[in-house]
Amino acid sequence: MSCYNSFQFQENYVYQGRLVTEETTLVTLREKLYSTSSQVYLDEEFVERTATEQTIAVSSVRNSVEIDERTAGWVRAQAATTRSAAAAAAGEPPEFSTTDSELRRAVNCTSDYGVKKLPQAIIIGVKKGGTRALLEALRVHPDVRAVGNEPHFFDRNYEKGLDWYRELMPSTLEGQITMEKTPSYFVTNSAAKRIHSMARDIKLIIVVRNPVTRAISDYTQTLSKRPEIPTFEVLAFKNRTLGLIDASWSALRIGIYALHLESWMQYFPLSQMHFVSGERLIVDPAGEMAKVQDFLGLKRIVTDKHFYFNKTKGFPCLKKPEDSSTPRCLGKSKGRTHPKIDPDVIRRLHKFYKPFNMMFYQMTGQNFQWELEEDGNSPGSRD
């Protein structure tokens, strides 16, 4: 059966022959979401999981050798000049990787001074919300040390244990924060409990974006890898004529933020969560970065001096304020123009998401004003 063949919703939210109010819709969707949780990210990420599992045996042998090499390297590094965190962030890492070899290459590229620690903060979501841009901006800060690749520990590699996870982290000095980002954590049912078991006082960052433009961006990424897939309109509806929206399609289901946030609030208070607006991260990156740095207890070092807006890509680019070098933009996979979507489809999706957006605003105490973007021309209408 197709991964798109779960439940549907009509525009008036009639489900199983009864009228579904805003109050009962969340319960209904939660039941269906949890029963089909394994379908999230079926588009392209199951292929990556296979590659990950194939390297487990090899990595166990490699670990013992690399530990000895790293010990010798650590001694030599004590006399070396410490590289700045900004320089360490210079080369853009691969966007997605879950194989042991690629993850270890990222670790070995970092300095060996300091101590490897489990993360004190994690960017847990959401996919296509702006998590890569946020992470790269944070890595400019000298008190932030972060893994460039996505470890996927709490959703795919949990059986490998915390020692394996810790080894992926960069070494840090006293006062520095260790971070990682894996957007799929936010929609993984077991992730919240697992992270809480590791560190109940950890800080969580969630980058959210208008769920309609997020879904289109998600589709755009998949389309670039699999041009043979059906159109967005076909995947979004079970029956477009009847207005039957396929809320089981992962590109749409991820955007039901209130549903996913509910499971995280069972383990973490809102005071340990910070929500970043993906739209404002594009139009006012310095403003959003100021709030993130405050949340993490960091000095506001990353400011407007570090950003330059690239009109061609439609995204801000990073630069070091002390020199005149060319701004460093995100890779070619960022800034792709979205395909043209029928305005009627966009209107219907905005109507579908509206009650869930209202719930999300109430839960977080923040109004992201996505209802003002129903014309489909919201900031960041690129992949």
128 is an active site residue? yes
Chain centroid, CA 215 distance in Å: 13
Determine if residue 334 is labeled as part of a ligand binding site: yes
Beta bridge pairs of residue 206: 125, 275
Determine if residue 129 is labeled as part of a ligand binding site: yes
Residue of 32, 116, 127, 128 marked catalytic: 128
Determine if residue 194 is labeled as part of a ligand binding site: no
- Please give the Cα distance from 143 to 177 (Å, whole number): 6
Determine if residue 130 is labeled as part of a ligand binding site: yes
Determine if residue 49 is labeled as part of a ligand binding site: no
Determine if residue 338 is labeled as part of a ligand binding site: yes
Determine if residue 203 is labeled as part of a ligand binding site: no
- Please give the Cα distance from 149 to 152 (Å, whole number): 9
Determine if residue 132 is labeled as part of a ligand binding site: yes
Determine if residue 217 is labeled as part of a ligand binding site: yes
Structure-token match 């289109």, residue found: 216
Determine if residue 128 is labeled as part of a ligand binding site: yes
Catalytic residues: 128
Show binding-site residues for 3'-phosphoadenylyl sulfate: 128-132, 209, 217, 334-338
Q: Name the binding residues.
A: 128-132, 209, 217, 334-338
